[in-house]
Amino acid sequence: MSHKLIVGNWKMNGGLSANQTLLDEIKAGLGAVRCRAGVCVPHPYLAQVQLLLAGTPIALGAQDVSIHASGAYTGEVSASMLRDFGVRYCIVGHSERRQYHRETEVEVALKVKQALACGITPIVCVGETLVQRDAGETEAVVKRQLAAVIHENGHCISEIVVAYEPVWAIGTGRTATPEQAQAVHAVLRAQLKAATPHHERVAILYGGSMNAANAAELLAQPDVDGGLIGGAALKAADFLTILRAASR
């Protein structure tokens, strides 16, 4: 993986003026940044953020996509609609979607398929709960989650990004140690290697409370190709610190 990839996940945060302020501050500090970068914003702000990011190296991302291409699905947003706004990345299967919206592994795999069909790179989230980790099921859980996506998408699997997000480390202030993160990333890397000869194209991001203080240590691990950033992506100084750490 030549350049690290750092993607901000704004979750359900933002506003027209707040978005402008945040992105103006990030753009002002991009000078020394050499990694790949993106921000995944709530759907209503795609048009605004597309304009704000024009001419910058920061890619636009969305946070979810429908399993359907079009039709009578009130409230849903299709991949082709996202593509109309120049969306480059789309988060799929985030633990919050799996938990609060009961998204199944099959649905996640179908969302990946829709994104790929429209030329959007899905950021496929996998990860275990604290109960699963304590039961020694981490490896089985993440492999099962990724296997569903591989099964549905076949040779296209080299076009995805994977994000390992231990559910117990999201928004809790707890973080997997660099060694814990690397161990799971190595498992995912081996699974991708078995699935595609182009496995080296797939970035594996760490997504469990990566922040300005721990980013450098996590990104130094051999199989950590970047980060999916939550809270720290809403603070320009913190996000820039992570981007710089990924540019070393």
How far is CA 136 from its chain centroid?
25
Burial label for 166, CB within 10 Å (0-12, 13-18, 19+), is buried
Q: Catalytic: which of 94, 103, 105, 185?
A: 94
Q: Catalytic: which of 96, 103, 159, 165?
A: 165
Q: Catalytic annotation on 103?
A: no
The CATH number of whichever domain residue 60 belongs to comes to 3.20.20.70
40, 7 Cβ separation under 8 angstroms: yes
Tell me the per-residue pLDDT of 25-68, one tens digit each, with 9 for 90 and over: 999 999 989 999 999 999 999 999 999 999 999 999 999 999 99
Q: Catalytic annotation on 76?
A: no
CB atoms within 10 A of CB 197: 9
Tell me the per-residue pLDDT of 127-149, one tens digit each, with 9 for 90 and over: 999 999 999 999 999 999 999 99
Tell me the per-residue pLDDT of 57-112, one tens digit each, with 9 for 90 and over: 999 999 999 999 999 999 999 999 999 999 999 999 999 999 999 999 999 999 99
**Total number of domains constituting the chain:** 1
Boundaries of domain holding 202: 5-246
Give the whole-number percent of the chain exceeding pLDDT 90: 93
216, 248 Cβ separation under 8 angstroms: yes
Alpha helices in 5-68 (DSSP H): 16-28, 46-53
